[in-house]
Amino acid sequence: MTPSKTGTARPPLAAGNRSFWLKQLHQWHWISSAICLIGMLLFAATGITLNHAAQIEGSPRTAARTAMLPAALLEALPPTQGDVKRALPAPLRDWISREFGVTAGDREAEWSADEIYLPLPRPGGDAWINIDRQTGETRHEVTTRGWVSYLNDLHKGRNTGTAWSWFLDVFAIACFVFCLTGLFLLHMHAGGRPTTWPMVGLGLVVPVVLAILFIH
């Protein structure tokens, strides 16, 4: 049977190209969505909690411990003229690890003639160690502000370290791939869905209008 010359069937080559790109886009779309699914749920939830941070007040809890720095370690501390910042000596780091379970690593401490102050910022709270250079009294204090504050700081990347920073970069790339492949899929299916581009445009226009009218 001879095909009608007036038919609207796509040419075989064009149909093959469309099929290839649809397959590729769907594959990258679902892979990127699987990678960033849990992260997107976390960031969506913490977006709400951050937006209402004033209404969601944490309940800070502080715990403190004290110990006496051994005399040998106290005497071995290098003299300090003025205020300087430098890492703790290895023997002192080892003692702090054994005594308080804290890994000081290469963090810089604030040295003065009277004391050594080591800040230990952390997501969802704060911590520090203070060493009295005259008596050797060492105080370790930890403040926690609850799980909401902890998750909010993960969202912001606040005091979360290098590994989490890498995760945020990978997560952002996965979200970019997810959105970009979704945009191309919208383009390829838009012919049969007339509301596609008005909805996409609405997603752009609404935040722009809100920013112009209500953010000053």
Residue 2 has pLDDT above 50, yes or no: no
Using 50, 70 and 90 to split pLDDT, how confident is the model at 180? very high
Once rounded to an integer, what is the mean pLDDT over residues 55-66?
89
119: left (phi over 0), alpha (psi -120 to 50) or beta: beta
pLDDT at residue 81, as a whole number = 81
pLDDT at residue 57, as a whole number = 77
pLDDT at residue 188, as a whole number = 87
Residues 80-139 pLDDT 10s: 888 899 999 999 999 999 999 999 989 999 999 999 999 999 999 999 999 999 999 999
Using 50, 70 and 90 to split pLDDT, how confident is the model at 79? confident
pLDDT at residue 152, as a whole number = 95
pLDDT at residue 8, as a whole number = 54
Residues 135-176 pLDDT 10s: 999 999 999 999 999 999 999 999 999 999 999 999 999 999
Mean pLDDT, the chain, whole residue set: 90
Encode 191-211: b = buried (16+ Cβ within 10 Å), e = exposed. Answer: eeeeeeeeeeeeeeeeeeeee
Residues 17-29 pLDDT 10s: 878 888 899 999 9
* pTM tops 0.75, yes or no: yes
pLDDT at residue 128, as a whole number = 97
Q: Where does residue 109 rank: exposed (0-12), middle (13-18), buried (19+ CB within 10 A)?
A: buried
Residue 5 has pLDDT above 70, yes or no: no
